[in-house]
Amino acid sequence: MYQVLIVDDEAEIRNGLSLYFPWNSLSFEVAGTAGNGVEALDFIERNHVDVLVSDIKMPEITGLELARELFNRKSKIKTVLLSSYREFEYAQSAIEYHVRYYLLKPTKFDKLSEVFTQIYSELDREHGAGSTKRNYGERPSENAEYYQNIIQSIKNYITENYKTATLKSTATHIGMNPYYLSSFFKQHTNEMFSEYLTRTKMQRAAEMLLSPSIKIYEICDELGYSTANNFSRSFKAYYQMSPSEYRQAHQVFPMEDR
């Protein structure tokens, strides 16, 4: 396994990259994480690192300065810089420090996989290793299963916390950046996060409306809506009828004794 160090001053991004990307299926493992360039250099001095993944804008020592320091040390560590669109041209100036890999935020899994597949091949050539370290034919299915486990974790959280769940709270629970989670969820479900959350709430509301003893204001409170009007408006937009109309249309009458 080749060793990866992830450096970003945003904890959500560090956690998302370290915990929710299938590094093992690409023959990498996360050796550690750091919140800035100073911590990264300290880690590198004490541990073996093959690849550095670093945000370009950080306090104290930026990703670009970190790449320059490694270049000056004649380090063989390969550097991957993370940057926004605004920083992309700035990031490319790191080519003089032999940085050839750039990933735009929010980082897409497919692009990250593509970059690390290429890095893996380069490291193997440099170390004189063959391609037998990994069964390439099994990787897509392994990745698909890994991604589905993450999606299921997101859905489980929403199911259990639909009253208070938001994109931010879900991302915090999963350990991803909110924008990253939103993009990831859309990519793997073809549904926006907000759409899935609304659908979960509306399906729960419909279930509760089938019980005549449950008041509409109680359903409103159960789903986390601030007012009954907000709930009714959302329900009507989803089902094309008000909660009262839905209840009446689905009312179950007991069969007469025969």
For each of the domains in the chain, give its residue range(s) and CATH number, in order of start: 2-137 (3.40.50.2300), 143-249 (1.10.10.60)
Low-confidence winner among 17-26, 76-85, 170-179 (lowest mean pLDDT): 170-179
Angle between helices 216-223 and 228-239 (to 10 degrees): 90
pLDDT bucket at 129, cuts 50 / 70 / 90: low
Please say whether the beta carbons of 109 and 150 come within 8 A.
Answer: no
Longest dimension (CA), the chain: 93
Is 96 exposed, middle or buried, given 0-12, 13-18 or 19+ CB atoms closer than 10 A? exposed
Per-residue pLDDT, 100? 78
The mean pLDDT of 121-141, rounded to a whole number, is 63
pLDDT bucket at 232, cuts 50 / 70 / 90: very high
Q: Is the model more confident about 95 or about 168?
A: 168
Using H for helix, E for strand and C for coil, what is the string for 99-152? CCEEEECCCCHHHHHHHHHHHHHHHHHHHCCCHHHCCHHHHHHHHHHHHHHHHH
Per-residue pLDDT, 132? 43
Query: How many CB atoms lie under 10 A from the CB of residue 150?
Result: 22
Per-residue pLDDT, 133? 46
pLDDT bucket at 113, cuts 50 / 70 / 90: confident
Please say whether the beta carbons of 219 and 231 come within 8 A.
Answer: yes
Tokens matching residue 235: 């329900």
Please say whether the beta carbons of 28 and 51 come within 8 A.
Answer: yes
pLDDT over threshold 60, residue 150: yes
pTM: 0.59
Gyration radius (Cα) of the chain, Å: 25
Per-residue pLDDT, 34? 94
